[in-house]
Amino acid sequence: MDRPICIQNAMVIDGTGSSPVLSDILLKDDCIQCLGSIAPTSDMEIIDGRGMFCTPGFIDVHTHSDISFLYCGNPSGHILQGVTSEVTGNCGYSPFPLRDDLQFIQKRRNSLSLIDTPLVEWKWHTWPQYKALLKQQGVNENLRILIGYGSIRAFVMDYDDRRPTTEEQARVEAILDEALRDGVCGLSVGLGYAPDFYADTEELIEAARVVKRHNGIFAFHVRGERLTLFQAIKEVLSIALKTDVRTEISHLKCAGKVNVGRMDEILALIEEANRSGADVTFDAYPYTAGCSYLGLVFPPKYHEGGIARLLERLSDSTLLPQILRDMEYGYPGWSTFIGEQNGENLLIISTKSGNSVGKTIAESAVSWGVTPYEAAVRLILENDGIVEMVMFQCDQHDVDLVATHPWSMFGSDSMVMDPVKAPLRTRPHPRYYGAFAHLLANYGKSGQIPIESLVHKMTAMPAERFGFIQRGKIQPGYYADLCLFRLEDIKALASYEAPCQLSVGMRHVFVNGQFVVRDGQALDTKPGRIL
């Protein structure tokens, strides 16, 4: 920055969990130089912080902004909530490694349609190439990036439903080892998606041992979040206990009728594992509804070979009756997704054609005169597999138990967007524009989570967990990622009916000492870094 910046008379919440303290803060270059009572000089830019909190910038530990940052390096959707750093590459969904094969790249794009956009050309194959493109593009936040286990497995084994050979296992581990040495912060796996759900526990243990050697973090989208939730959580905890790997359970939730009101039991399992020597934390988004792609309603065995093979099977009139039966009744290890509420809780929010957006699967079924299972088949076939849905499946009390637990952090499970630019999604989940504002407005204002504790869970805690060095605290020598706001001004305007609305209330936001939000307005700056 050109001039030192002095924020005066702000109530500083330093990120450590300590109570707010009235202080000035001097920023010079990209760092915090000092705190206390600072006498202004003629070369300083003075920012009046009276009546406002000054906090470290918030860290979103679970996003899918991998591709959207390549489309737009300075989107406003997250920074206007005070988010200055993100962890991408979650749920096994990293956009690397890729084979130098256009057909394979298209297969991966089809699988990663939830985070993809046709507005970005995929011009990379490796992690270093992808990282170089991000740096060339420039971004307005700091990024820490996970490599996806599903991406590595697809690279080595395609979408085969089998165990890797000895040679394939060695190749998977070598790719992971190289990426960790070259700066990814850890490994993610999406055990609800192909090809990740073909990996068994022993295979994941071997991967965890590689991550452990590098002191990385292993983030799990667990194998089942509804009928098999407890079994899935126990699998993750067993891996954590056997390998001592730092473990993150992604978007922890109790989904489905059978699990409503049972979050205290899940938390008790995690607490017991940690008492036994595991190192497990978890993150969540502050909503009762989730969001994913329609492929979740089709059993894993029909995904072998990728999306194209799934669509072929759904088009096979001799096989379709069996698929429909499995979708309705499930089988051991997989439970029906639609059958719990006949599709009434599954709202279509995005399709390749634009049709059916804003309707539930149940409503589409009625309008077409078919069953909800047949409606899902029609939807995914008519849109070449590119269909996203919001899933209303959780209880608010369970959400609150996760949010208030001392081991929880927060992730929006979204991708950065800007409603001013060509929209990447016309009707996304409201968490795309409102997750962190929602946290401040609902938990901070009410006092359900003391503001200093809430800020800690959004700053210093995730910074330490995911390796954001010298970030997450307001201390001399730390990077100047900061937010300045009045708590009463913070509002998340995004709703399920009108989600593309920017949150309001952030007065100023800094990334590496530079304004990205000034006087409530997002700026056309890209001071973020690939860390």
pLDDT digit string (tens) for 496-506?
A: 999 999 999 99
Q: What is the pLDDT, as a whole number, of residue 33?
A: 97
Q: What is the pLDDT, as a whole number, of residue 227?
A: 85
pLDDT band at 5 (very low <50, low <70, confident <90, very high): very high
Q: What percent of the chain has pLDDT over 70?
A: 100
Both 138 and 247 in one domain: the answer is yes
Position 98 in a domain? yes
Orientation angle between helical segments 149-157 and 166-181, nearest 10 degrees: 140
Whether residue 229 is predicted with pLDDT greater than 70 in this model: the reply is: yes
- For residue 287, what is the enclosing H or E element? none
Position 17 in a domain? no
Both 134 and 233 in one domain: the answer is yes
Both 73 and 151 in one domain: the answer is yes
Whether residue 1 is predicted with pLDDT greater than 60 in this model: the reply is: no
Output the 3-class SS for 297-364.
Answer: HCCHHHCCCCHHHHHHHHCCCCCHHHHHHHHHHCECCECCCCCCCCCCCEEEEEECCCCCCCCEHHHH
Best CA proximity match to 211, nearest among 248, 237, 156, 157: 248
pLDDT in tens, 57-105: 999 999 999 999 999 989 999 999 999 999 999 999 999 999 999 999 9
Q: Is the CB of residue 520 less than 8 Å from the CB of residue 82? A: no
The whole-number average pLDDT for the span 166-180 is 98
The whole-number average pLDDT for the span 459-465 is 98
Q: What is the pLDDT, as a whole number, of residue 316?
A: 95
Q: What is the pLDDT, as a whole number, of residue 167?
A: 97
Q: What is the pLDDT, as a whole number, of residue 330?
A: 86
The whole-number average pLDDT for the span 405-433 is 91
Q: What is the pLDDT, as a whole number, of residue 287?
A: 97
Both 362 and 413 in one domain: the answer is no
Q: What is the pLDDT, as a whole number, of residue 354?
A: 83
Both 365 and 284 in one domain: the answer is no
Position 299 in a domain? yes
| Total number of domains constituting the chain | 2
Both 112 and 213 in one domain: the answer is yes
Q: Which of 362, 392, 422 is the last residue of a domain?
A: 392
Both 119 and 157 in one domain: the answer is yes
Q: What is the pLDDT, as a whole number, of residue 485?
A: 98
Q: Which of 441, 466, 491 is the last residue of a domain?
A: 466
Both 147 and 271 in one domain: the answer is yes
Both 134 and 153 in one domain: the answer is yes
pLDDT band at 335 (very low <50, low <70, confident <90, very high): confident
Both 130 and 278 in one domain: the answer is yes
The whole-number average pLDDT for the span 362-383 is 96
Q: What is the pLDDT, as a whole number, of residue 277?
A: 97
Position 323 in a domain? yes
Q: What is the pLDDT, as a whole number, of residue 177?
A: 98
Position 250 in a domain? yes
CATH number of 143's domain? 3.20.20.140
The whole-number average pLDDT for the span 394-407 is 97
Q: What is the pLDDT, as a whole number, of residue 423?
A: 73
Q: Which of 445, 466, 487 is the last residue of a domain?
A: 466
pLDDT band at 419 (very low <50, low <70, confident <90, very high): confident
Whether residue 275 is predicted with pLDDT greater than 70 in this model: the reply is: yes
Which domain range does residue 382 map to?
A: 293-392
Both 372 and 450 in one domain: the answer is no
Q: What percent of the chain has pLDDT over 90?
A: 89
Position 530 in a domain? no
Cα dihedral sign, 379-380-384-385 = positive
Both 82 and 193 in one domain: the answer is yes
pLDDT band at 232 (very low <50, low <70, confident <90, very high): very high
Beta bridge partners of 85: 59, 142
The whole-number average pLDDT for the span 258-275 is 96
- Measure the CA–CA gap between 221 and 199, rounded to whole angstroms: 13
pLDDT band at 411 (very low <50, low <70, confident <90, very high): very high
Position 339 in a domain? yes
Structure tokens at 342: 């006949």
Position 80 in a domain? yes
- Measure the CA–CA gap between 391 and 337, rounded to whole angstroms: 10
Q: What is the pLDDT, as a whole number, of residue 156?
A: 98
With vertex at residue 81, the alpha carbon angle to CA 3 and CA 519, rounded to the nearest 5 degrees, is: 40
